[in-house]
Structure 1
Amino acid sequence: MEPPEAIEQVTGGEADAAIIFRYDTLPHFLRIDESLHFEPLGADPLRLLVRRASAIGKAYERNHEPVDLTAAHDEAWIAGCATCRANLLKLAARAGFQPDIRHSTDDYWATQNLVEMGMGVSIVPTLDTKIHVQDDLVACTLRDANASRQVGILTRANDTRESLGLLRSELAETARHYLQPLPAAE
């Protein structure tokens, strides 16, 4: 389930813990009040998913340098869940354009298929690209320092059960292999 639904499940006692993501660009989008505890596990940079044969894809394959989001300002866009869509709109606004969102899905495989068919471009998390990226697609690193999401574990604030402590420990160990360390607080 997406973060808002997972938060409801933990808040309502339907779940003891959830792994959720949140964007620094949207500090108030998710309602995590004092009854909940969010423990960040790491950062998951976002990537621009494009066709390898596109101008952006060819340039990225040539030099492997991060691309500006503005490189895709004239493209049709495929948005994700409501949280991801809000983040896309915020990143695009910061880059100075309004994305032409033509499709919306929270299914990564559908997103890849839509990009592959030339229906648009999309922003996807690096974690999704570790599973599989179709051969005729490329997931370009973005130059924008805000193009990232935090992944973490959500629990009720006063839940100190040993089993949740073990879960946190195992998730933190696993996250070290897949997520980047969070930037140090200033």
Structure 2
Amino acid sequence: MDLTRLRLLVELERLGTMAAVAETTGMGTSAVSKHFAVLEREAGTQLLVPDGRRVRLTPAGHRLARHAVDILARADTARAELAGEGAPVGQVDLVSFISVAGPIVLPAVRRLQSDHPGIDVRLIEHEPDEALELLQSGTVDLGLVYDYSLVPRRFPGTLTLRPIGTEPLLLSQPSGGAATSRIMTRRRLSGAAESSWIANSRGSDEDELVRRMCAGAGFAPRIRHRIDNLEVVEQLVAAGMGVGVMPKLAAAARRGVVHSPLGDLGGTRRISLASSTGGWSWRPITLLARYLWEQARGVLDDTAPTPPVSGGAEVAGDPEPPPG
């Protein structure tokens, strides 16, 4: 039903006559009458009956008018919210991969909910392939996703990405022998030609990354283990069962493991925020995105110089940079 017609109905119940409604709204009486005729067709029931030279609302008309008050109030609230007026309110479903949860997502969400308690954030963990499916289906509102500089990902055209930073990649290898924490060279990487390699179970971008990286050192890797949990990957490395590529955020000091920066041999992991193109206009999403960006500035490399908001515009209620 058209909001203008509902508003006319509310005014008729308040003022009592068509002439008064016409005067208040600036419409002609005949125009107001035509609007009511259309509204009756939309409602599928009679809303007005003649009462001498006037009209009066039927019981159905009074009931619809009461509903209209609530509908119009909700519409006005939604319009104000989208226009950035008043406190931001709403639930944002955020999908993220595990290694950014601790250093970026949780601190950002805590700060956001302290500053804007009307925003409720629901967290879901998935790798980029699954995250992108959820974003495209509309199941979630905002996602943290990544790709590799050596293996660029083609993202769906229905989504808009806002890059927020990068992180270096390391080679996780058993300590001892020639393993060292110095930056990796092709000659030293070629020493892993006979090693068992560890990759994830999805066998997609990470496999291609390992193959391209090792090809530059003159060999084809032997991927023997497929493990998704990065903590378990490190345990396998410590046990001498293989080597694997490890993003810096997931690498922790562990007895029996050496992390060698891969530098240009491995490139970087590029981290972005993704949402539907229209989603970036909703204030709770842009606020959450900005808090994530602020937190990422102290964690990632090559962070974006401006916050990830639609059109580069500032968002009311922007956070202060996190302490430290």
Change (3 A) 1:182 1:176: closer
Once residues 146 and 50 of structure 1 are traced to their aligned partners in structure 2, the CA distance between those partners, rounded to angstroms, is 15
2:149 corresponds to which residue? 24
Q: What TM-score, normalized by structure 2, do the two folds share?
A: 0.50
Aligned length: 174
Return 87-96 or 170-179, whichever deviates more.
87-96
Structure 2: which amino acid aligns with 1:18?
G
1:10 corresponds to which residue? 135
Once residues 43 and 145 of structure 1 are traced to their aligned partners in structure 2, the CA distance between those partners, rounded to angstroms, is 15
Name which of 78, 93, 102 aligns with 2:224.
102
Consecutive unaligned residues of structure 1, counting only runs of 5 or more, are none
* 1:21-170 equivalences in 2 (<5 Å): 21-27=146-152, 30-56=153-179, 60=180, 64-68=181-185, 69-80=189-200, 81-82=202-203, 83-129=205-251, 132-144=252-264, 146-159=266-279, 160-170=281-291
- Per the TM alignment, residue 133 of structure 1 is displaced from its structure 2 partner at its CA by 2.8
2:298 corresponds to which residue? 177
Once residues 163 and 156 of structure 2 are traced to their aligned partners in structure 1, the CA distance between those partners, rounded to angstroms, is 15
Once residues 77 and 4 of structure 1 are traced to their aligned partners in structure 2, the CA distance between those partners, rounded to angstroms, is 22
Change (3 A) 1:71 1:177: farther
- Per the TM alignment, residue 141 of structure 1 is displaced from its structure 2 partner at its CA by 0.9
Q: Secondary structure at the match of 1:144?
A: helix
Structure 1: which amino acid aligns with 2:258?
V
Return 44-53 or 87-96, whichever deviates more.
87-96
- Per the TM alignment, residue 72 of structure 1 is displaced from its structure 2 partner at its CA by 2.0
Deviations 1:99-158 (A, max 9, x none): 0111011110110111011111111000101xx331221111113254211011111112
Compare the two structures and name the one with the higher helix fraction: 2
Once residues 106 and 178 of structure 1 are traced to their aligned partners in structure 2, the CA distance between those partners, rounded to angstroms, is 23
Does the CA-based 8 Å contact 2:213-2:265 persist in structure 1? no
Deviations 1:29-57 (A, max 9, x none): x441221011111111100001122322x
Once residues 92 and 128 of structure 1 are traced to their aligned partners in structure 2, the CA distance between those partners, rounded to angstroms, is 21
Structure 1: which amino acid aligns with 2:299?
Y
- Per the TM alignment, residue 180 of structure 1 is displaced from its structure 2 partner at its CA by 0.5
Change (3 A) 1:78 1:145: closer
Q: Secondary structure at the match of 1:149?
A: strand
Q: Secondary structure at the match of 2:269?
A: strand
Q: Secondary structure at the match of 1:111?
A: helix
Q: What TM-score, normalized by structure 1, do the two folds share?
A: 0.85
- Per the TM alignment, residue 97 of structure 1 is displaced from its structure 2 partner at its CA by 1.5
Does the CA-based 8 Å contact 2:237-2:243 persist in structure 1? yes
Does the CA-based 8 Å contact 1:34-1:157 persist in structure 2? no
Larger-gyration structure (1/2)? 2
Structure 1: which amino acid aligns with 2:184?
V
Once residues 183 and 13 of structure 1 are traced to their aligned partners in structure 2, the CA distance between those partners, rounded to angstroms, is 26
